[in-house]
A and B are shown apart, each in its own frame.
Chain A
Amino acid sequence: MKKPTVELKLPILPNMELIATQTAEVIARHMNLTDDQSGEISMALIEACINAFEHSKTDSNVFIHFLIEEDSLVMKVIDQGIGFDKTKVEIPKIENKMGKEERKRGWGLQLIQELMDSVEFESNSDGTTVTMKKNIKH
């Protein structure tokens, strides 16, 4: 049987990531996830959406696919932007950010990786797909 999927198309407008989290909450309830699991999924989704909105350098829509599997939820956040090189993204540490005359940003990838069970990045000059998986323990 084909796995159930939910697909969203989000314009790059302020706070559109909250549409994704509202959808994720409905899916989490459908899958009988715990509140903690639901919160982690929503937080990771927010960060992936914001990265797509801010760093893709494009006006194109961002696509989100939820793949509902028996023992996991897979979420793909897809943009059609300029891509990025993950090896050049510094792992943030608060100690390194204190005492510097700069904004304290750059936490998105770290949060996603901490909150999800697996994360994969595919990126080139045509866009980026972030695939995030949360294993479901029944």
Chain B
Amino acid sequence: MSSFIKSTKEANQIIIIETDGYLNNEGGEAISAICYEKIKGGQHKFLINMAGTKVVNSIGVSILIEIIEKLQEVNGKIGYYNLAPIVAKTFNIMGLTKYSTVFATEEEAVGAL
């Protein structure tokens, strides 16, 4: 597993991925590898805990858009929580918040997704 992925766990049939470090191309690919494998296994809901990711770039974030697109094919959902303000602003500018949800906490996210 990539060092960018700090942990993965499951709660209420939601796969929760905790990241650590720079969300760049490699970080994005690490998230998508997990999501695509889980989608093949029938999982359709994902949460990303980004407490450990204070810096992103648009290439890494664009891979999240690809995951959103893949999830639309299976009526799935993805959300994020513990975002740094600049990460949340970047997601907003790039339009991710039109197709996925930013939550404040894991509890809120697990309850709502």
Residue of B nearest to A21 (CB): B55
Considering only residues 13-65 of chain B, those with a C-beta below 8 Å from chain A are: 22, 24, 55-59, 61-63, 65
Complex interface: chain B residues within 8 A of A46 (CB): 55, 57
- Taking a contact as CB atoms under 8 Å apart, the answer to whether A111 and B95 are in contact is no
B98 interfacial contact with A, CB 8 Å: yes
Interface secondary structure of B, over-half rule: helix
B84 interfacial contact with A, CB 8 Å: yes
B6 interfacial contact with A, CB 8 Å: no
Bound CA–CA A101/B102 (angstroms) = 26
- Taking a contact as CB atoms under 8 Å apart, the answer to whether A18 and B22 are in contact is yes
Complex interface: chain A residues within 8 A of B58 (CB): 47, 50, 105, 107-108, 111
Whether A43 touches B90, Cβ cut-off 8 Å, given contacts A21-B55, A50-B57, A107-B62, is: yes
Interface centre among B22, B58, B68, B85, by most chain A C-beta atoms within 10 angstroms, is B58
Interface secondary structure of A, over-half rule: helix
Task: Tell which of B65, B68, B90 touches A111, judged by Cβ atoms closer than 8 Å.
Answer: B90
B10 interfacial contact with A, CB 8 Å: no
A98 interfacial contact with B, CB 8 Å: yes
Shortest Cβ distance from B20 into chain A, in angstroms?
15
Task: Tell which of B22, B66, B68, B98 touches A15, judged by Cβ atoms closer than 8 Å.
Answer: B22
Produce 1/0 per residue, A13-53, CB < 8 A to B: 00101100100000000000001100110110011001000
Q: How many residues of A contact B (CB 8 A)?
A: 29
- Taking a contact as CB atoms under 8 Å apart, the answer to whether A17 and B57 are in contact is yes
Bound CA–CA A57/B66 (angstroms) = 26
Task: Tell which of A17, A43, A94 touches B99, judged by Cβ atoms closer than 8 Å.
Answer: A94
Bound CA–CA A102/B72 (angstroms) = 16
- Taking a contact as CB atoms under 8 Å apart, the answer to whether B86 and A36 are in contact is yes
Complex interface: chain B residues within 8 A of A98 (CB): 65, 68-69, 72, 99
| B positions within 8 Å CB-CB of A | 22, 24, 55-59, 61-63, 65-66, 68-69, 72, 84-86, 89-90, 93-96, 98-99
7 tightest A-B CB contacts, nearest first:
A39-B86, A94-B95, A107-B58, A104-B65, A104-B62, A105-B62, A114-B93
| A positions within 8 Å CB-CB of B | 15, 17-18, 21, 35-36, 39-40, 42-43, 46-47, 50, 92-95, 97-99, 103-105, 107-108, 110-111, 114-115
